[in-house]
Amino acid sequence: MPIVHHAVRLSSPRAFGRRVPPAPLGAALKQVDDAVRRSVLMAFEGRSVTAGRPRAWFVAACDLRLVDFEGNDDTTLHFEAPELGEAAAELYLQTEMWPTRPPPGWTGFDVLAGVLQDVGAGNQDSERFDRPLLQHLAHFGRLFEAGFDAIRVEEHRSGVPGEAVLDRATVATARKLSASTPRAQAVRIAGLLDMVRVSTQSFAIKLDDGEEIRGVLTGGSVDSAGVLLNRRVLVHGRAVYRPSGRILRLDAERIEDGHGISGFWSKLPKPLFRGRIDPGALYRPQTASTGIHAIFGRWPGDETDEAFDQAIKGLS
């Protein structure tokens, strides 16, 4: 299997170099490995978290090996990673379903670099991440508090080495995107079952207007829906959104025959609940004429003092 070398450079104000403390180094290794795994799963299935036993293609695609480390000021970790086209060969033999599926010559580090690029750019409409992946990237803030201040991942997406950066600014943007992502909501959607892929538990349905939505069956096996291929179906589940508010995928609980189901149910569901409110966005500085100063010590009416005194005497 073709193996690609990647360097991951950890910088620190304390210039750890080769003499790096084990705790932050161990945390960095764990978080980078998790970030690669979540990014690869997102690229192939449209979700960054799944339950159950990992499938063989996923285990092979995420088989990263630390082979050396060095450094003077920065700490440079050297990894070996398999090409995805070889590690997940069965998926590349199938008809492409997701537009995010990476080129076969990429590795998991290249996929992670694409995620970091979109997050760093604040791309609210990206298909490369969902809220759990954004939250995982936000957790790198704890690593930076432990001693490091940036992670630079070597990638070869353009054919020549480059670097994708994960630093405090990336963490801040990940938190902002996560907070603005609408909450998933229960939906029922009708459409033509256009594709089923057993290896990734994924499917696609085409709405009456021709737009296609991808989805993942979260319970049971998507193989059972194969008999409904190219037929009208009704999907019960939850709609998962991007920070922009556009739908990212369907997390389906079940797929059933939708013969005779009204076209009313064949529409893109709009998010009902936006992301968490940012308290900072509600803050407005007070001036001498705004906020509480605009009302404190002032009578809201336009009566004169004499008219007010007369009214009070009338109530006595």
Residues 150 and 168 in one domain: yes
Identify the CA nearest to 261 among candidates 189, 204, 158: 189
Domain containing 227 equals 185-265
Cβ(182)–Cβ(240) under 8 Å?
Answer: no
Residues 108 and 140 in one domain: yes
Identify the CA nearest to 130 among candidates 143, 140, 115: 115
Q: Look at residue 308 and tell me if it is in a domain.
A: no
Total of domains in the chain:
2
Residue 160 Cα to chain centre, angstroms: 27
Q: What is the pTM of this model?
A: 0.81
Residues 171 and 229 in one domain: no
Cβ(69)–Cβ(77) under 8 Å?
Answer: yes
Q: Look at residue 285 and tell me if it is in a domain.
A: no
Q: Can you give the pLDDT of all 316 residues of the chain as single tens digits?
A: 789 999 999 998 888 888 988 988 999 999 999 999 999 999 999 999 988 888 999 999 999 999 999 988 999 999 999 999 999 999 998 776 666 689 999 999 999 999 999 999 999 999 999 999 999 999 999 888 878 899 999 999 988 889 999 999 999 999 999 999 999 999 999 999 998 888 888 899 999 999 999 999 988 788 888 889 999 999 999 999 999 999 999 999 999 999 999 999 999 888 986 655 555 545 566 666 666 666 666 656 666 777 767 777 766 6
Q: Look at residue 294 and tell me if it is in a domain.
A: no
Residues 20 and 114 in one domain: yes
Residues 125 and 252 in one domain: no
Q: Look at residue 202 and tell me if it is in a domain.
A: yes
